[in-house]
Structure 1
Amino acid sequence: MENKHQLGFVFRQENCVGCGGCSVACQIHNELPENVRFRKVDRYEVKTGKRTKDVWLSHSCMHCENPACLMVCPAKAYTTRHDGLVVLDRDLCTGCGLCEQACPYDAVTMLESDGKAIKCNMCIELIEQGKKPACVDGCPVKCLDMDNVSQILQDPSASKEGIGYGDCLTKPNMVIIRKRT
């Protein structure tokens, strides 16, 4: 059943220059160790005729409608909020690592310092203050945003498919805007 309040990341893939500003802003805001990234930026080479161009995919936790992490967690450390955000209670985490293995988006990391899972929560502390997630504010070309998924999908240029990203059984909630602005 579709959540009419579902929040998700909105990514203008054609505008992304692959700078990693989103990833750095996230890492600083969340005070993550050097080797941990909630937001990753992947490069894809795409052929168009005889030319090849780089296309970037900025991604983190997809806050899935059917989150694999939640389904496999024996400690019930994952919950889904009213706005669809998938939240991890690290106090309940036992460090079994099943969530990390189950996530098709490589969004869960086992923290070396305590052996427990850690992941993006879309900066819920900022959202609750009426602000945008740190990664959104950290994007210098403004190709990353956060919004209501069902509303954004009404735009004909919006899709849950992009280069390096596609809809699957977990029903991820990132929207790709295909037209360049």
Structure 2
Amino acid sequence: MQNQHQRGFVFRQENCVGCGACTVACQIHNELPENVRFRKVDRYEVQKGDGIVDVWLSHSCMHCSNPACLMVCPAQAYTLRHDGLVVLDREKCTGCGLCVSACPYDAVAMIDTDGKAAKCNMCIELIDQGKNPACVDGCPVQCLKSDNVNQVLAQKTSASKQGVGYGDCLTKPNMVIIKERS
């Protein structure tokens, strides 16, 4: 059954310049150690006409509808909120690392200082105040936002769950790629 309130990231892949400002904004907001990234920006070389162009993919936790991290966690440290956000309770985490191995998006990290898992929660403390996640506000070209995934897919013909470096899978990820320049 589809969650009608499912929130996810909406990414305008063709507009992304790969600057990494979203990653930095996330690191600062979440006070992450230098070696931990909740949001990553990957570069892909894609054939276009007679040449090759760089295409970027900004990604973090996909807040999957069928989250592998939640399924494998023996401590039941993961929950699925009413809006579909996958949240980790670090107090319950035992540091077994099963969630790190299970995530197909490399979205869960182990923190060296306490040996526990950590991941993007889409800045729920900001979302609950009606604000944007830090990565969204950190993007200088405004190619990233947080929205109701089902509404975006229904309203925009250029929206899909497919893009360079990203595709739908068994975990039912909730990121939407907009394939149009703005």
Residue 21 of structure 1: how far off its partner (Å): 0.5
Q: Which residue of 2 aligns with 1:47?
A: 47
For residues 40-94 of structure 1, give each alpha carbon's deviation from its aligned partner in whole angstroms, at most 9, with x where no partner exists: 0000000113200000000000000000000000000000000000000000000
Q: Which residue of 1 aligns with 2:61?
A: 61
Task: Give the distance between the partners of 2:179 and 2:90, measured in 1 at CA.
Answer: 36
Task: Give the alignment of 1:95-110 within 5 angstroms.
Answer: 95-110=95-110
Q: Which residue of 2 aligns with 1:150?
A: 150
Q: Which residue of 1 aligns with 2:175?
A: 174
Structure 1 runs of 4+ aligned residues shifted over 2 Å read: none
Give the AA of the match of 1:174.
M
Task: Give the distance between the partners of 1:98 and 1:128, measured in 2 at CA.
Answer: 29
Task: Give the distance between the partners of 1:104 and 1:123, measured in 2 at CA.
Answer: 21
Task: Give the distance between the partners of 1:145 and 1:112, measured in 2 at CA.
Answer: 30
* SS at 1:69 equivalent: helix
Give the AA of the match of 2:136.
V
Task: Give the distance between the partners of 2:82 and 2:17, measured in 1 at CA.
Answer: 33
Task: Give the distance between the partners of 2:49 and 2:17, measured in 1 at CA.
Answer: 21
For residues 118-148 of structure 1, give each alpha carbon's deviation from its aligned partner in whole angstroms, at most 9, with x where no partner exists: 0000000001111000000000000000000
For residues 86-131 of structure 1, give each alpha carbon's deviation from its aligned partner in whole angstroms, at most 9, with x where no partner exists: 0000000000000000000000001100100000000000011110
Q: Which residue of 2 aligns with 1:113?
A: 113
TM (norm. structure 2) is 0.99
Q: Which residue of 2 aligns with 1:162?
A: 163
Structure ranking higher in strand proportion: 2
Identity of aligned residues (%): 79
Give the AA of the match of 1:157.
S
Q: Which residue of 2 aligns with 1:88?
A: 88
Give the AA of the match of 1:2.
Q
Over the aligned positions, Cα root-mean-square deviation in angstroms equals: 0.4
Q: Which residue of 2 aligns with 1:12?
A: 12
Give the AA of the match of 1:45.
E
Give the AA of the match of 2:142.
K
